[in-house]
Amino acid sequence: MENVNKYQAFPPINLPDRTWPNQVITKAPIWCSVDLRDGNQALEIPMNLSQKLNFFKHLVEMGFKTIEIGFPAASDTEFEFARHLIEHQLIPEDVTIQVLTQSRQHIIEKTFEALRGVKKAVVHLYNSTSTLQRDVVFRMDQKQCLDLAIFGAQLVKEIAEKDTFGSDFTFEYSPESFTGTEMDFAVKISDAVLNIWQPTSEHRAIINLPATVEMSTPNIYADQIEYFCRHTQFRDRIWVSLHAHNDRGTAVAATEMALMAGADRVEGTLFGNGERTGNCDLLTVGLNLFSQGVDPEIDFSKINEIIDVYEDSTRMNVPQRHPYAGKLVYTAFSGSHQDAINKGMARMKQGGGIWEVPYLPIDPMDVGRSYDPIIRINSQSGKGGVAYILEQHFGYQLPKQIQQAFSAVVTKVSDQRQSDLTPDDLHNLFLDTYVNRKQPIDLISYREEMLDDQIVQMSAHVMISGKEVEINGSGNGLLDAFCQALQTKISGKFEITAYHEHALERGTTSQAITYVIIQNGGHKTYIGAGISSSVSKSSLRAILSAVNQIDSIVS
The three-state secondary structure class of 446 is strand
CA-nearest of 313, 299, 332 to 53 is: 313
CA pair distance 34, 270, nearest whole angstrom: 9
Region 468-478: what's the mean pLDDT?
Answer: 92
pLDDT, tens digit, 9 for 90 and up, residues 56-69? 999 999 999 999 99
For all residues of the chain together, what is the average pLDDT? 94
Report the distance separating Cα 288 and Cα 236, nearest Å.
28
Distance, in Å, from the CA atom of 437 to the CA atom of 527, rounded to the nearest integer, reads 11
Report whether 446 contacts 540 (CB < 8 A): yes
Name the β-bridge partners of 520. Answer: 494
DSSP letter string over 97-160?
Answer: EEEEEES-HHHHHHHHHHTTT-SEEEEEEEEE-SHHIIIIIS---HHHHHHHHHHHHHHHHHHH
Beta bridge partners of 30: 265
Asked whether the predicted pLDDT for residue 131 surpasses 70, the reply is: yes
> Looking at residue 381, what is its pLDDT?
84
pLDDT at 507: 58
Distance CA 402, CA 396 (A): 11
Q: Which pLDDT score, from 0 to 100, does residue 536 have?
A: 92
Q: Look at residue 338 and tell me whether its pLDDT is greater than 80.
A: yes
Burial 268-289 (b: 16+ CB within 10 A, else e): bbbbbbbeeebbbbbbbbbbbb
Residue 347 in this model has a pLDDT that exceeds 60: yes
Q: Would you say residue 508 has pLDDT above 60?
A: no
How would you list the strands of the sheet with 456-464, edge to edge? Answer: 441-450, 456-464, 467-475
Confidence bin at 555 (pLDDT 50/70/90): low
Whether the pTM exceeds 0.75: the reply is: yes
265-283 pLDDT, tens digit per residue, is 999 999 999 999 999 999 9
Each residue's pLDDT tens digit, 93-112: 999 999 999 999 999 999 99
Q: Is 436 exposed, middle or buried (0-12, 13-18, 19+ CB in 10 A)?
A: middle
- Kindly state the average pLDDT of the residues 228-250: 98
Amino acid at 451: L
- Degrees to nearest 5, angle at CA 274 with 272 and 277: 75
As annotated, the residues of the chain forming the CATH 3.20.20.70 domain(s) are: 26-314
Per cent of the chain over pLDDT 90 is: 81
Q: 518 by DSSP, 3-state: which?
A: strand
Measure the CA–CA gap between 122 and 96, rounded to whole angstroms. Answer: 7
pLDDT confidence band for 489 (50 / 70 / 90): confident
Is a pLDDT exceeding 80 seen at residue 352? Answer: no
The residue among 191, 223, 220 whose CA lies nearest residue 207 is: 191
CATH topology of domain 26-314: TIM Barrel (3.20.20)
Residue 236, C-beta contacts closer than 8 angstroms, at least 6 positions apart: 201
The DSSP secondary structure of 154-169, one letter per residue, reads HHHHHHHHT-SS--EE
- Cα separation values, 224 from 66, 134, 257, 364, 492, Å: 25, 19, 11, 36, 81
Is pLDDT above 80 for 522? no
Binned at pLDDT 50, 70 and 90, residue 506 comes out as low
Write the CATH number of the domain with boundaries 441-547. Answer: 3.30.160.270
Distance between CA atoms of residues 231 and 13, nearest Å: 14
* Most distant CA pair in the chain, distance: 109
pLDDT band at 42 (very low <50, low <70, confident <90, very high): very high
Residues of the chain with CATH 3.30.160.270: 441-547
pLDDT confidence tier of residue 379, bands split at 50, 70 and 90: confident
Give CA torsion, residues 296, 299, 302, 306, to 10 deg. Answer: -90
pLDDT digits (tens, 9 = 90+) for 176-211: 999 999 999 999 999 999 999 999 999 999 999 999
Across residues 381-388, what is the average pLDDT?
87
Helix, strand, coil in percent for the chain, rounding step 5: 40, 20, 35
- Kindly tell me if the per-residue pLDDT of 9 is higher than 60: yes
Note the pLDDT tens digit of each residue in 162-178: 999 999 999 999 999 99
Residue 108 in contact with residue 72, Cβ under 8 Å? no
- State pLDDT tens for residues 270-317: 999 999 999 999 999 999 999 999 999 999 999 999 999 999 999 999
Specify the pLDDT at position 521. 75
